[in-house]
């Protein structure tokens, strides 16, 4: 587990990357009429946040600015954030609720080894800064000593195996590169989706992506110089000598690892990821690492086969184990260990880490209060235990039923769209309809909760609590290998403001925390609910049919169930969407990567399309009443664009464009330029900036 990433906003392969997304609006142009004025209380009651809109902007020139311009003008990014958005504001409210629940649990003083006692002890151990300072380096010293005692490459292989963690998710959750040499993902098998299988993925990097090591741009060279200083600082704080030279060797090793990595876009090709290796194959296909010792150290000595996601990267990294000096690898392990646990070591480690990874890398000037980081810590280690309390307190059966009804309507709309497709063969349609019919939609909270009985939490041992938590999750995942798959399993907790698709499980999850204003309120007009949460629901459903999701059949098996003509049409439409996003340039020297963001862009386009169909169907051939001067269709599209209201620091935006699978928010809002009904709703004209002629509008589903 990488603690730093747990306590920051981590990058999700979900509806949003994180609760921040964009910079100020652009392309503003004058418009004669302004939206009606409205108080914040009225906005809350009616759904459309009219006070957030900027009527001086033409919808056809900058729909994002039209829907969110005044919000952007008056919103200030807090000094402890890289960004702020409607997602992050909802997350703040949810975190405050969660913090209150945790503190209630602390005050209740539960006894024994109950989940409530563990929550209280974990929170208290993180908040006890005096105890952390008093212990100093003593909690981490045994692990540093063990690294220093490694005598040869065989023992190195065992140590690398012992550091393996189940801390990557290649399709649906976090996309970061594990700080360990490789990462393990336990999920249904590509070829046997009824049982859990182990996937091995590339790892070993602490900077966000290979380009941070390999790019020759001035900004990247400058960042590497500062990273080198940071590496030296962390080693010096831990009592190492000759830290500058060690830092150079560590950076050079990480750079060599980065050269072996596949890019983010390349890693998205699931067919190329479907490589089953038996244990004997590793020594032949990826020589250099003592794989027998590695798997023994990882507790996987009895596992007969693995799915290797990036074979060339595994082979390259394995070769580096043999070629790089042993002492360099030992320094690498020591530094990565310190990074992983910096926030539960004495304050100087956490401050040094923040200075580089937040202040330098993302432009965040101030660290979040320790109490907020403590809540994040408890959510990371005991998320389901907290989630049970949260869901019981804050998510009503009535809300659950309403969202389930909306989801059913949107699935039905998607089914009608598939049935009406002129370009899709009947056999392909049949399999697509089967996927929809079997789709599991989880709303609010999971049907079964994680069991924490084997997780030991001590009231005075925060380092040990985090160490044991990482090992606990890893061992739980390894214990599932070969067992039948629970297709209703969740990848998130109820208190997470996000949503997820699980294409191999043919399942979706919508946590309770996202099912509240501004995304959903039971009393809001249908146009607003379908435009806000409906488009998010449609987004996740459509992931089952995006570039990755469409590779899995109705049983979750990786296979091409498309005819060659259908696939050719799909790829042509997808290529047009890639080109559309390639043309967006948030910086003069950096464009959005259409290939890297294509799956999320497909999901946005399909999501708004099916949510609009479901909204219109809910009217039963009637017209929606006007609200605040807007037609029902206008309310729908404005609600969609207001999902993405956000501001972001320059450094964080550049970081997102380079490393994220989601396009910046402004361009997500502008997805409407591909929807015919949007042109009618706002009376668009060809001379307006976002206008696309009918043949140029991308249509996939």
β-strand 500-502 against 507-511: which pairing, if any?
A: antiparallel
Mean pLDDT of the chain: 91
Same domain, 168 and 72: no
pLDDT digits (tens, 9 = 90+) for 305-342: 999 999 999 999 999 999 999 999 999 999 999 999 99
pLDDT digits (tens, 9 = 90+) for 266-283: 888 899 999 999 999 999
CA distance 573 to 16: 23
The mean per-residue pLDDT over the stretch 372-390 comes to: 96
Residue at 351 is within a domain: no
In the chain, how many domains are there?
2
| pLDDT at 572 exceeding the cut of 50 | yes
CA distance 508 to 488: 9
- Binned at pLDDT 50, 70 and 90, residue 73 comes out as very high
What is the tally of helices (H) and strands (E) in the chain? 31, 9
- Binned at pLDDT 50, 70 and 90, residue 109 comes out as confident
Q: How many Å is the maximal CA-CA distance in the chain?
A: 77
| pLDDT at 462 exceeding the cut of 60 | yes
Same domain, 43 and 185: no
- DSSP letter at 359 equals I
- Residue tagged 């435009």 (tokens): 531
pLDDT digits (tens, 9 = 90+) for 484-528: 999 999 989 999 999 988 888 999 999 999 999 999 998 899 999
Share of the chain above pLDDT 90, in %: 85
Same domain, 197 and 76: no
| pLDDT at 42 exceeding the cut of 60 | no
- What is the reported pLDDT for 112? 82
Same domain, 293 and 404: no
- Residue tagged 């306590």 (tokens): 7
- What is the reported pLDDT for 38? 37
The mean per-residue pLDDT over the stretch 42-52 comes to: 69
Scanning 191-274, the segments in alpha helix (DSSP H) are 211-214, 218-237, 243-260, 264-267, 270-273
- What is the reported pLDDT for 264? 84
- What is the reported pLDDT for 230? 98
Between the CA of residue 624 and those of 43, 507, 618, 627, what are the distances in Å? 18, 32, 10, 9
Domain holding 528: CATH number?
A: 3.40.390.10
CA distance 403 to 502: 19
Same domain, 288 and 178: yes
| pLDDT at 50 exceeding the cut of 70 | yes
CB atoms within 10 A of CB 336: 24
Give the CA-trace dihedral at 428, 434, 440, 443, to 10 degrees.
70
Same domain, 146 and 82: no
- Residue tagged 């390894």 (tokens): 478
Residue at 113 is within a domain: no
Same domain, 87 and 146: no
pLDDT digits (tens, 9 = 90+) for 580-596: 999 999 999 999 999 99
CA distance 144 to 345: 13
Residue at 3 is within a domain: no
Same domain, 611 and 514: yes
| pLDDT at 17 exceeding the cut of 80 | no
Domain range spanning residue 236?
A: 141-340
Residue at 381 is within a domain: no
pLDDT digits (tens, 9 = 90+) for 167-179: 887 764 344 456 7
450, 386 in Cβ contact below 8 A?
Answer: no
Q: Using the 3D structure, point to which of 340, 367, 383 is the last residue of a domain.
A: 340
Q: Using the 3D structure, point to which of 340, 360, 377 is the last residue of a domain.
A: 340
Tokens of 139: 């909690």
| pLDDT at 22 exceeding the cut of 60 | no
Residue at 149 is within a domain: yes
643, 636 in Cβ contact below 8 A?
Answer: no
Same domain, 488 and 578: yes
pLDDT digits (tens, 9 = 90+) for 624-664: 999 999 999 999 999 999 999 999 999 999 999 998 999 99
Residue at 403 is within a domain: yes
| pLDDT at 3 exceeding the cut of 60 | no
Q: Which helix (H) or strand (E) holds 72?
A: helix 63-74
The mean per-residue pLDDT over the stretch 343-372 comes to: 95
CA distance 191 to 180: 27
Residue at 349 is within a domain: no
- What is the reported pLDDT for 16? 59
- What is the reported pLDDT for 171? 62
Domain holding 200: CATH number?
A: 1.10.1380.10
| pLDDT at 608 exceeding the cut of 80 | yes
pLDDT digits (tens, 9 = 90+) for 241-262: 999 999 999 999 999 999 999 9
Same domain, 432 and 526: yes
Same domain, 276 and 420: no
Q: Using the 3D structure, point to which of 317, 340, 363 is the last residue of a domain.
A: 340
Same domain, 153 and 85: no
Residue at 133 is within a domain: no
- What is the reported pLDDT for 39? 36
């Amino acid at each position: 587990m990488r603690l730093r990433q747990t306590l920051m906003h981590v990058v999700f392969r979900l509806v949003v990357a994180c609760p921040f997304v964009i910079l100020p609006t652009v392309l503003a142009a004058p418009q004669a009429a302004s939206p009606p004025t409205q108080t914040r209380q009225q906005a809350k009651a009616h759904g459309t946040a009219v006070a957030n809109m900027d009527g001086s902007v033409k919808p056809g020139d900058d729909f994002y600015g039209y829907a969110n311009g005044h919000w952007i003008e008056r919103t200030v990014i807090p000094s402890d954030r890289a960004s702020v958005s409607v997602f992050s504001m909802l997350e703040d409210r949810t975190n405050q609720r969660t913090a209150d629940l945790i503190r209630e649990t602390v005050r209740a003083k539960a006894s024994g080894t109950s989940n409530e006692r563990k929550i209280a002890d974990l929170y208290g151990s993180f908040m006890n800064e005096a105890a952390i300072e008093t212990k100093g380096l003593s909690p981490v010293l045994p692990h540093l000593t063990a690294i220093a005692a490694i005598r040869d490459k065989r023992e190195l292989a065992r140590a690398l195996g012992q550091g393996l963690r189940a801390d990557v998710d290649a399709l649906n959750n976090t996309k970061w590169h594990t700080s360990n040499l490789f990462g393990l993902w336990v999920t249904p098998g590509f070829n046997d989706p009824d049982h859990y299988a182990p996937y091995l993925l590339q790892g070993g990097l602490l900077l966000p992506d290979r380009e941070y090591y390999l790019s020759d741009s001035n900004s990247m060279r400058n960042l590497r110089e500062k990273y080198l200083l940071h590496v030296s600082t962390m080693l010096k704080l831990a009592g190492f000598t000759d830290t500058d030279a060690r830092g150079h060797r560590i950076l050079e090793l990480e750079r060599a690892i980065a050269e072996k990595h596949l890019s983010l876009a390349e890693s998205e090709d699931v067919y190329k990821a479907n490589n089953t290796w038996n244990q004997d194959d590793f020594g032949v296909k990826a020589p250099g690492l003592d794989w027998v010792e590695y798997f023994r150290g990882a507790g996987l000595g009895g596992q007969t086969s693995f799915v290797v996601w990036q074979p060339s990267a595994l082979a390259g990294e394995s070769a580096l184990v043999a070629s790089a000096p042993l002492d360099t690898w030992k320094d690498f392990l020591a530094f990565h260990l310190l990074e992983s646990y910096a926030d539960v070591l004495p304050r100087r480690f956490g401050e040094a880490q923040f200075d580089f990874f937040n202040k330098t890398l993302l432009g965040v000037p101030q660290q979040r209060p320790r109490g907020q980081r403590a809540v994040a810590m408890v959510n990371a280690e005991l998320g389901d235990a907290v989630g049970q309390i949260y869901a019981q307190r804050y998510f009503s059966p009535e809300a659950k039923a309403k969202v389930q009804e909306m989801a059913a309507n949107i699935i039905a709309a998607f089914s009608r769209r598939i049935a009406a497709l002129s370009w899709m063969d009947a056999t392909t349609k049949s399999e697509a309809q089967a996927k929809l019919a079997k789709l599991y939609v989880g709303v609010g909270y999971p049907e079964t909760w994680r069991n924490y009985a084997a997780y030991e939490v001590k009231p005075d041992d925060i380092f040990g609590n985090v160490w044991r938590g990482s090992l606990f999750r890893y061992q739980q995942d390894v214990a599932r290998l070969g067992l039948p798959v629970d297709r209703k399993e969740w990848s998130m907790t109820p208190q997470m403001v996000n949503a997820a698709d699980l294409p191999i499980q043919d399942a979706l999850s919508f946590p309770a925390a996202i099912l509240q204003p501004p995304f959903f309120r039971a009393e809001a007009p249908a146009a607003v609910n379908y435009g806000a949460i409906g488009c998010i629901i449609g987004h996740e459903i459509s992931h089952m049919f995006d570039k990755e999701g469409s590779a899995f059949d109705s049983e979750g098996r990786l296979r091409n169930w498309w005819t060659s003509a259908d696939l050719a049409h799909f790829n042509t439409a997808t290529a047009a969407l890639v080109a559309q996003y390639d043309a967006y340039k948030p910086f003069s020297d950096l464009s959005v990567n259409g290939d890297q963001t294509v799956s999320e862009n497909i999901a946005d386009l399909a999501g708004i399309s099916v949510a609009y169909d479901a909204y219109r169907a809910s009217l039963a051939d009637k017209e929606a009443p006007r609200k605040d001067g807007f037609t029902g269709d206008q309310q729908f599209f404005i609600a969609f664009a207001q999902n993405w209201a956000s501001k972001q620091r320059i450094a964080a935006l550049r970081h997102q464009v380079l490393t994220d699978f989601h396009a910046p928010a402004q361009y997500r809002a502008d997805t409407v330029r591909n929807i015919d009904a949007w042109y009618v709703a706002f009376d668009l004209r060809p001379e307006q900036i976002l206008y696309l002629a009918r043949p140029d509008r991308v249509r996939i589903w």
